[in-house]
Amino acid sequence: MATRGRGAAAAVALLMAVSAALPPARGFSVPLQRPADCGTDRYFDSSRLACAPCGAYQRQSAGGSSCECEPGYRMVSSNGGFSVTCEKCPENMSGVTQDGWNCIACPRGLTSKGNCKCPNNEILVERSLDGVLLDEALCLHCNGSEQSFSASDASGSRCVRCEQTFIQVSKSCDCNSPNILTGGLCFLAREGLPPKGVAAVRFAQLGLTLASAWFLKNLQSSAFACWLYSNLTACQALGNMCVMNMNSLSSSSTDACGLFQYIFVSTARVGVIHSIPYWRHNLPWLYYGDQPGLASQVLEKNHFPTTFTFKGTDKDVKLKFIAASFDAAGNFLKWQHLEGGLLQLCPDTQTKLNAAYVFGTTYQQNCKLSVSKILLDFADPVFYDLFLEYNGGNGQQHLWAVPVLNLNLQYNEKFVNQGSNMNNWLLTRRFFLVDALSGKENDLGKPPRVIRIASKITISIRLVSHTQRGTIYPPLITVAYTDVLVQNPETQSVMVSFAVSYEMNQREAQIQTDIALGVLGGLAVLWSLLKTAGWKRRTGSSIIDLQTVFKFLLFYAGDLANVFFIITVGTGIYWLVFFKAQQFVSVLLPLPSQEEDFVTYVACAFSLKALQFLHLLVSQLAVDIFFIDWERPKGKVLKAVEGEGVTKSTAAPVSIWRTYFIANEWNEIQTVRKINPLFQVLAVLFFLEVVGFSNLAIMDASSSLTRSSESYVAPWSRILRFGVSAALWVAIAILQILFFAVIYERFVEDKISQFVDLCCVSNISVFLLSHNCFGHYIHGRSVHGHADTNMEEMNMNLKREAKRGPARLLDSSANTFEQSTRAYNAMNKFLSSFIDHVHKEMDYIVKDKLLLERILGMEFMEPIEKSIFYNDEGHSFTDVLYYGNETTLLIFDILFFSVVDLASQSFVLAAILTYLQQEIFRFIRTTLGQKNLASKTLVDQRFLI
């Protein structure tokens, strides 16, 4: 124990010592400094990550991470630029050598950095051949005669052979007038040269036109070299400058695209490549024609010469895009496949990036990128010509050119590609992701003033109509660019997106939907007219008034809601089955924009069904209900007469508790349904979210219920979400109804039949009037005469009934009802006497309904002389309860769930709100129904528990 104690004490002491050695929290904080923050007299010390002062006669170097001597000072000592000693040069040797270590006389003057300078075509010499420093710098002229053809290089330090165009034009290294010197090249002045180009780039979104340093340097020379010498690199460079100008064409402009078109038209005689009329020899392929109107021929005239499947080999299920890439100077870089995220600016895993090219997978990716990261990653633009690879009939690999729809392209100052009319489009070929080059104004070494970013790229795949083998039209890549005025790259950002969409002509499906809607809508009108006629007969009215029209509209709203429901459920299940189950592609899902009509149908179905539901609720809450107690008094009792002081013999009162009991049971079954609503909601949610049926609503070809966490999750299809959820709702509801009808209500509990049995046992009949001249009657008159009895007599009555069977139907030859007691109210006397045929002027007959009457739910016979009672074994009195309107309630629940889900894209939220609305309406129905029961039956509401 002692040893342990000393060890623990030592550990505590050590911890305290370590804690004491640690600095406070603010000791771990350092200020953020960048090389640009240091100014001219300080440098960025990378070991301290902070600015440090330069020494005397020193300034910050070009990189910012060291110091250098000021002009007129030479280095005496240097430790890699971090510790420098400088010394002033004497007056007669005021220049500093290129390496900065020595002073030297400069007869031709000094540069801004304090070095010696020489005129053009002369090179600077500071040392002799053996390395001895000269006292005075020499400027030696490069021999440009025919024997040497030499000129100084770009650094001015050595003589090299001059550019070939100088030799060809002037037989020297000089390009004197009238020859044309541009872009470091010399051209012979003659007729037929391309016109002088406008070295400007227009950024239409910013309303800005810049004189580009890159264009000033290379535009004219590229055009001349391409035109005169068919220089492949120059032609590609000229095409790239046209692409940087958004391929915009104008009849009055001689910008990069104007020069390209001039050369394209003038070289018609040189022939075309691969029999493609838009692809000239030596020129890049930039346009599909020189004016709008050819897009439909390019995109729809020919089919892509291979087929795709959803469940085939790798070559059949993937889109193998390949791109030829070029740099800005026109040099071919390499062939590159798009897999790996070549065109996707947003970073992601390799698996998710490559999912974009799985056939049938609708792909969407978007993110926000900082301008500083874009400038760092895309300092030099890369240009792409996109193709789709396929196998030819002879096993040879072939390429199909993919056209580009540039939304920023202007034709005669109009954005012709931004409309939906294909006949106005002007398709192009080449595109880029980021252009940080053309926006540099004066110096190519400085950051650009404006950059242009492909902020939205969409590859569209269109299925050929009536295909059964997955034949598609040529893909189309749509590019939208965003112009960004660079002000503070660290804080500026741009939203970028990449998408792959699949579409087919939905016109035929829309026509079929419209036909179904028209036919079923017409049938709904006829059905609603029949309902209205039946309602008029039940109300005893023969006049078509405003109330009749209003009632017809309510009936039609419910029936039309059913029509919309049938169409939308059928549509959802159709797309779910035929899209997910197909192997050889014949159908593709509608685009989100094409789903708008479907969503409108769902919204209409819900609105109309909600109106029908409210109408049903109001109708049930206005039902007239009466209880008829058939119980007779047993014997007489002595009763004191108030005010007379005498006792008289009167009939024994009949107990009211049976009536209260029946009223309570009726109150309980008002909201009983054929399904369990809570189980329904939980079961649907379980299959959607736990089992994984929700994965079937994803816009891809997979029909798997499980997805890997690393795999790409495509966007949801609203049609598929509705189809999956509605199918599950209907399937689970049907299973519930079958279970309750076949098993539960037979072997466990049937509340409706139990209520009828209870009425018979209690000797109480129920009158329900849902209309002025129509209602339901539950004949509960006991065959035993009395219900107020002891247990032994009650058991004997039940045994006798079990042997003979219940007698709950009215008998047309029933005896005249006996005189009831004076204790019951006049209504009970009247109804009981009516049932017993006491009032001959209001007599009735009992008969069975015709089959057609049962099917249509209406009565053909007019009760002219006598009322008509129809035998009813189907418990049609449940029409005034939830139980008899399960279809309406179920459809309303499905539509409510679907509307919430379509609005929120959340099955969980839809399930919660659906259950809440069920409970709210059940509470309203129970509460108001209880009040109606109490007011109509004169049963005190305090006895309804």
Q: Rounded to the nearest 10 degrees, what angle do helices 546-580 and 718-739 cross at?
A: 110
pLDDT given for residue 494 in this prediction: 95
Q: Is the separation of the CB atoms in 883 and 673 below 8 Å?
A: yes
Q: CA-CA distance, 438 to 203, in Å (whole number)?
A: 10
User: Phi/psi class of residue 18: alpha, beta or left (left: φ > 0; alpha: ψ in -120 to 50)?
Assistant: alpha
Give percent of the chain with pLDDT exceeding 90. Answer: 43
pLDDT for 922 equals 95
The pLDDT of 820-826, averaged and rounded, is 40
pLDDT of amino acid 110: 87
Q: What is the pLDDT of residue 788?
A: 62
pLDDT by residue (tens digit) across 702-725?
888 988 888 899 999 999 999 999
Q: CA quadruple 739, 745, 747, 749: dihedral positive or negative?
A: positive
Task: Name the phi and psi angles at 307, rounded to 5.
Answer: -120, 165
CA–CA separation, 170 vs 383, rounded Å? 35
- pLDDT score, position 792: 54
pLDDT: which is higher, 39 or 679: 679
- Residue 816: predicted pLDDT: 30
List, as own/partner pairs, every contact residues 591-595 make where C-beta atoms lie below 8 angstroms and the sequence separation is at least 24, other chains included. 591/501, 591/503, 592/715, 592/718, 594/503, 594/506, 595/717, 595/718, 595/719
Angle at 394 between CA 391 and CA 398, to 5 degrees: 35
- Are 248 and 411 in contact by the 8 Å Cβ rule? The answer is yes
**Taking the CA of residue 189 as centre, how many other CA atoms within 13 Å lie in the half-sphere pointing to its CB?**
9
Q: How many CB atoms lie within 10 A of CB 944?
A: 18
Distance CA 703, CA 706 (A): 9
Look-up: residue for tokens 């050889």? 584
Identify the band that residue 822 occupies on the pLDDT scale cut at 50, 70 and 90. very low
Question: Is-contact 799 778, C-beta < 8 A?
Answer: no
Residue ranges in 740-788 assigned as alpha helix (H): 745-747, 751-762
The CB density around residue 943, as the number of other CB atoms within 10 Å, is 15
Cβ(647)–Cβ(639) below 8 Å? yes
What does the DSSP 8-state code read for residue 70? P
The full DSSP string for 574-617 is: HHHHHHHS-SB----PPPGGGGHHHHHHHHHHHHHHHHHHHHHH
pLDDT digits (tens, 9 = 90+) for 838-887: 777 777 777 878 888 778 877 777 777 778 788 887 788 888 999 999 99
DSSP character at residue 481: E
Polymer length in residues for the chain: 945
| Dist. CA 54–CA 46, nearest whole Å | 14
- Residue 826: pLDDT over 70: no
- 3-class DSSP state for residue 255? coil
Q: For tokens 């030499």, what's the residue?
A: 150
Structure tokens at 565: 């429901």
Spell out the long-range contacts of 151-158 with Cβ–Cβ below 8 A and sequence spacing 24 or more.
Answer: 151/121, 152/118, 152/120, 152/121, 152/122, 152/123, 156/118, 156/122, 156/123, 156/124, 157/98, 157/123, 157/124, 158/123
- Per-residue pLDDT of 508-560, as tens digits, reads 889 999 999 999 999 999 999 999 988 888 888 888 889 999 999 999 999 99
613-665 pLDDT, tens per residue?
999 999 999 998 888 888 777 666 566 555 566 666 666 666 778 888 888 99
φ/ψ of residue 807, rounded to 5? -120, 90
In the structure, what pLDDT confidence band is assigned to residue 19 with cuts at 50, 70 and 90?
very low
Q: Name, in order, each residue with C-beta under 8 angstroms of 305's C-beta and a sequence gap of 6 or more.
A: 390, 392, 398, 400
* Cα distance between residue 109 and residue 95, in whole Å: 8
- 248-269 residue pLDDT tens: 998 777 889 999 998 998 887 8
Phi, psi torsion values for 411, nearest 5 degrees: -120, 115
Burial environment of residue 831 by CB neighbours within 10 A (0 to 12, 13 to 18, 19 or more): middle
What pLDDT sits at residue 229? 82
Query: CA gyration radius for the chain?
Result: 46
Task: Render pLDDT for 725-772 as a digit per residue (tens, 0 to 9).
Answer: 999 999 999 999 999 999 998 999 889 988 988 888 888 888 888 888
What's the start-to-end Cα distance of the chain, in Å? 72
* Residue 547 neighbours by CB under 8 Å, 6+ apart: none
Measured between alpha carbons, how far is residue 796 from residues 230, 781, 787 in Å?
117, 17, 12
Q: Is 719 helix (H, G, I), strand (E, B) or coil?
A: helix
Model pLDDT for residues 588-600, shown as the tens digit of each residue: 999 888 899 999 9
pLDDT on residue 847? 80
| Average pLDDT value for the chain | 84
pLDDT at 802: 60
Q: Are 661 and 675 in contact (CB under 8 A)?
A: no
What's the pLDDT at 762? 85
**Is residue 798 predicted with pLDDT exceeding 60?**
no
Residue 310's alpha-carbon distances to 206, 316, 365, 463, 779, in angstroms, are 45, 8, 22, 13, 64
* Whole-angstrom distance, CA of residue 704 vs CA of residue 696: 7
Distance CA(270)–CA(235), nearest Å, equals 14
Cβ neighbours for 940, distance < 8 A, ≥ 6 positions apart: 934
Instruction: Give which of 213, 194, 215 is closest to 258, Cα–Cα.
Output: 194
- Report the pLDDT value the prediction gives residue 849, as an integer from 0 to 100: 80
116-171 pLDDT, tens digit per residue, is 888 877 888 888 888 888 888 888 888 777 777 888 777 777 888 877 777 777 77
Instruction: Please write down the HEC assignment for all residues of 167-231.
Output: HHHHCCCCCCCCCEEECCEEECCCCCCCCCCCCEEEEHHHCEEEECHHHHHHHHHHHHHHHHHCC
Residue 218 CA: distances (Å) to CA of 104, 181, 198, 225, 438: 37, 11, 11, 10, 11
pLDDT in tens, 465-509: 888 788 899 999 999 999 999 999 999 999 999 999 999 988 888
CA 293 to CA 426: how far, in whole Å? 7
User: What's phi and psi for 435, nearest 5 deg?
Assistant: -120, 105
pLDDT tens for each residue of 658-689: 888 888 999 999 999 999 999 999 999 999 99
> Could you report the per-residue pLDDT of 416-463, keeping only the tens digit for each?
999 889 999 999 999 999 999 999 998 888 899 999 999 999 999 999
Half-sphere exposure of 793 (CA within 13 A, CB side): 7
